[in-house]
C-alpha cells in the first residue's frame, strides 16, 4: 500500500506540472494543490513504510485534494476557452484522487477484517489449565 500511495503522490505532482505547462493561464490552485498533495502523499507513503498503520492522514489529504481540484475541473469543462489537454489532465487528476480514496478506504485489508466471527481467539482451555480446579480451592466458612 505504501508504494502505491507514494507512486500516486509522484503522479499527482507530475500531473500538476503538466497542467501548468499546457494551460498556464489557469489559476495556480491546481498547481499548488497538486504539488503539495503529491508531497504529502509521498510523506504518508514513507510513514506507512516505517510502520505507521493509520490511514486518517492519507484520507484527509486525498479528500482535500479532491475537493480543491473539483472546482477548477468543473470550471474548465464549463468554459469554452479551455483546451482539451487541460480538461483531460484535470479530469484525470480528479479521477485518480477519487480512485485513491476508494483504495485507501477499502484496499488491502487483512482476511480477519471480513470474517463475521470475532478476531480474538477464545483461549478458555489455556485459561482453565492455568487456574486451579474448583475442588482444590479452600472453601470459606458460611457467614452467620
CA distance 20 to 74: 17
Q: Tell whether 118 is covered by a domain.
A: no
Instruction: Tell me the pTM.
Output: 0.71
Using the Cα atoms of residue 97, residue 62, residue 73 and residue 90 in order, give the sign of their dihedral. negative
Q: Tell whether 51 is covered by a domain.
A: yes
Give the domain extent around 33. 2-108
CA distance 62 to 138: 62
Q: Tell whether 45 is covered by a domain.
A: yes
Alpha carbon of residue 132 to chain centroid:
48
Q: Tell whether 114 is covered by a domain.
A: no
Q: Tell whether 77 is covered by a domain.
A: yes
Q: Tell whether 122 is covered by a domain.
A: no
- Which pLDDT band, with edges at 50, 70 and 90, does 62 fall under? very high
Number of domains in the chain: 1
> What is the chain's mean pLDDT, rounded?
81
Amino acid at each position: 500500500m505504501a508504494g502505491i500511495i507514494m507512486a500516486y503522490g509522484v503522479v499527482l505532482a507530475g500531473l500538476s506540472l503538466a497542467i501548468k505547462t499546457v494551460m498556464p493561464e489557469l489559476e495556480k490552485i491546481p498547481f499548488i494543490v497538486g504539488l503539495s498533495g503529491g508531497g504529502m502523499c509521498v510523506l504518508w507513503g514513507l510513514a506507512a513504510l516505517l510502520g505507521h498503520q493509520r490511514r486518517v492522514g492519507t484520507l484527509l489529504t486525498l479528500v482535500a485534494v479532491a475537493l480543491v481540484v473539483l472546482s477548477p475541473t468543473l470550471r474548465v469543462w464549463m468554459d469554452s476557452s479551455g483546451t482539451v489537454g487541460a480538461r483531460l489532465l484535470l479530469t484525470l487528476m480528479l479521477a485518480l484522487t477519487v480512485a485513491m480514496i476508494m483504495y485507501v478506504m477499502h484496499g488491502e485489508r487483512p482476511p480477519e477484517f471480513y470474517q463475521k466471527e470475532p478476531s480474538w481467539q477464545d483461549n478458555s482451555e489455556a485459561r482453565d489449565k492455568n487456574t486451579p480446579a474448583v475442588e482444590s480451592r479452600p472453601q470459606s466458612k458460611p457467614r452467620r
